[in-house]
Amino acid sequence: MPAPPAQPARRGRGRPTRPVLTADGITAEAVRLLEERGQDGLTMAALARRLGVAPSALYNHVATKADVLRAVQDDVNRGIDCSGFADLPWDEALARWAHSYRDAYARHPALVPVMAVTPVDSAPHTVAMYERVCAGLLAGGWPPHLVADVVVAVESFVLGSALDTQAPADIFDPGRLPAPALRAATAARPGGDTARAAFALGLDALLAGLRALRAGAPG
Amino acid sequence: MPAPPAQPARRGRGRPTRPVLTADGITAEAVRLLEERGQDGLTMAALARRLGVAPSALYNHVATKADVLRAVQDDVNRGIDCSGFADLPWDEALARWAHSYRDAYARHPALVPVMAVTPVDSAPHTVAMYERVCAGLLAGGWPPHLVADVVVAVESFVLGSALDTQAPADIFDPGRLPAPALRAATAARPGGDTARAAFALGLDALLAGLRALRAGAPG
DNA sequence: ACCTGAACACCGTTCAAGT
DNA sequence: ACCTGAACACCGTTCAAGT
């Protein structure tokens, strides 16, 4: 959190008597901006305006906008629930983690491509998350050489599902094109939160398959 | 394909004697540009330059850049292999489709967010793809009310996996942060194409789970 | 060291003018 | 109808000048 300066800082146009910005304060404001205004709303200019500062001032604390996104991502990962890996069976822990992970990125879909590609190095909360997940899978008897693949597979499904939450409800409407099977399938689909239903079905299937795979391994 | 004009068109600065551009020609060039220069390389200015035209000329044929991306996406979907749904068991067809789908979007990761969110309406190849997939699942005995969820679940995994192919090899390196389980898991991971290994494991698990679910349904 | 303000090289998009 | 070229309202980023 950006500790509010005891005295109102910065008047003139030189160096302020006390720093106005901190890297953490920039990150916190970026998270808020992303939540309120979405992907396109997070610009360096908008971020600076909300911090009461000229855009160029940000560059004293971050190197690039990608830097800001990485910090925001680590902050989002801080909120993902890994608690199950401490005391639940690995599959139940994985289910809890996957749900929490999906929900977090459904709130921040712009971060999905960032998360899929950004090295974990120097992102402390992200490393802590993976550490708990890997420890839980190892404790659950998964052979070490498969653990990373299991994590990546579940994560790929989670991030794809997070993107899917952004799809409009009528995404599968074929318009005036002929598509009887597609029409039948969408017509038979129950109403409600369809993205959540697809996620639940897929996660159940994925976990059932992983259980079967795990049962075939020693340990 | 943009049929090359029989005579060199366009000299002066008024209306050309023959149209220089077509919507299909713009799409074809956009696909090439995206493959050669990647996401950031696909700008309206670069597209216009390669077509020998001023950027504003594009707007006589497409309404927005998002329009171009939608057309590119439908063109990419044209290349996805749905052949299995005609004569293979549904699970084998789904596996073939998923592999082809993942490979196509691994080549065009910038389209992943587009694909996840864009309505299928007026995208003929995309509608044709979903039609074959749904028909195959219905023919395989899936209850109609589950078909769309199965499609979306597999698709979410595929698109997440396509993004994962863009991750650097050392994405899980925790740097100097303490993370023994994460280190053990990454150290035990065999070399080679790790993204493909994770995709194969996840797809196997997902399909095994879907088979079990399908076996519990009538048909 | 850390801010401001001007500047740079871009974006996507609009629109009057030309044929 | 379909092009050009100028223009608009943006981007992210750099940098000299100020304290």
Contacts of A63 by beta carbon, 8 Å cutoff, 6+ apart: none
Nearest to B102 by CA among A30, A168, A214, A160: A160
Q: In chain C, which nucleotides are within 7 Å of a protein Cβ?
A: 1-7, 10-19
Contacts of B43 by beta carbon, 8 Å cutoff, 6+ apart: none
For residue A182, the chain B residues in CB contact (below 8 A) are 127, 130-131, 134
Which residue of B206, B207, B211 to mutate against A (max A Cβ within 10 Å)? Answer: B206
The reply to whether the CB atom of residue B19 sits less than 7 A from any atom in nucleic acid chain D is yes
Compare CB distances from B181 to A113, A131, A204 and report the shortest one's residue: A131
User: In Å, how far is A178's CA from the nearest CA of chain B?
Assistant: 9
The pLDDT of B85-100, averaged and rounded, is 98
Q: What residue is closest to C6 (Cα–C1')? A: A56
Nucleotide nearest to B54 (CA to C1'): D4
CB count within 10 Å of CB A193 equals 12
Task: Note the residue count of chain A.
Answer: 219
Question: Who among residues 64-93 of A has its Cβ near strand D, under 7 Å?
Answer: 64-66
Residue A110: phi and psi, rounded to 5, are -65, -20
Q: Does pLDDT of B43 surpass 60?
A: yes
Compare CB distances from B182 to A131, A206, A213 and report the shortest one's residue: A131
Domains in chain B (CATH in brackets) are 19-63 (1.10.10.60), 81-216 (1.10.357.10)
What are the CA-CA distances from residue B48 to residues A72, B52, B68 (Å)?
Answer: 35, 6, 12
A70: left (phi over 0), alpha (psi -120 to 50) or beta: alpha
pLDDT digits (tens, 9 = 90+) for A176-192: 999 999 999 999 999 99
Residue-level pLDDT at A68: 97
Q: Does pLDDT of A5 surpass 60?
A: no
DSSP-derived secondary structure letter, A177 = S
For residue A40, the chain B residues in CB contact (below 8 A) are none
Nucleotide nearest to B63 (CA to C1'): C13
Which residue of A105, A125, A152, A211 to mutate against B (max B Cβ within 10 Å)? Answer: A152
What are the CA-CA distances from residue A78 to residues A24, A37, A82, A95, A156 (Å)?
Answer: 14, 21, 10, 18, 19
**A158 near A112, Cβ under 8 Å?**
no
CB atoms A153 and B118 under 8 Å: no
Contacts of B66 by beta carbon, 8 Å cutoff, 6+ apart: none
**Interatomic separation, CA of residue B45 and C1' of nucleotide D12, rounded (Å):** 18
pTM above 0.85, yes or no: yes
For residue A158, the chain B residues in CB contact (below 8 A) are 160
Residue-level pLDDT at A63: 97
Q: Does pLDDT of B9 surpass 60?
A: no
Contacts of B10 by beta carbon, 8 Å cutoff, 6+ apart: B16, B17, B20, B52
Nearest to B24 by CA among B72, B59, B63: B72
- Rounded to whole angstroms, the Cα distance separating A53 from A47 reads 9
Residue-level pLDDT at A100: 98
Nearest to B195 by CA among B171, B219, B174, B217: B171
Instruction: Give the confidence band of A15 by pLDDT, cuts at 50, 70, 90.
Output: confident
- Rounded to whole angstroms, the Cα distance separating A210 from B203 reads 10
pLDDT digits (tens, 9 = 90+) for B139-166: 999 999 999 999 999 999 999 999 999 9
Residue-level pLDDT at B12: 60
**How big is the A-B interface in CB pairs under 8 Å?**
271
- Rg from Cα positions in chain A: 22
- Rounded to whole angstroms, the Cα distance separating B113 from B111 reads 6
Contacts of A216 by beta carbon, 8 Å cutoff, 6+ apart: none
Percent helix / strand / coil, chain A, rounded to 5: 65, 0, 35
Residue-level pLDDT at B208: 98
CB count within 10 Å of CB A48 equals 19
| Both tokens assigned to A18 | 């006390």
What are the CA-CA distances from residue B19 to residues B6, B57, B58, B67, B71 (Å)?
Answer: 12, 11, 12, 20, 20
- CB contact B216 to A (< 8 Å): no
Q: Does pLDDT of A168 surpass 80?
A: yes
Instruction: Give the confidence band of B15 by pLDDT, cuts at 50, 70, 90.
Output: confident
Interface of B with A in 64-123 (CB under 8 A): 109, 112-113, 116-122
In chain A, the residue whose alpha carbon lies closest to the alpha carbon of B166 is: A117
The pLDDT of A40-59, averaged and rounded, is 97
**B69 near B114, Cβ under 8 Å?**
yes
Mean pLDDT of chain A: 92
Q: Does pLDDT of B125 surpass 80?
A: yes
What are the CA-CA distances from residue A119 to residues A28, A70, B169, B188 (Å)?
Answer: 21, 9, 9, 19
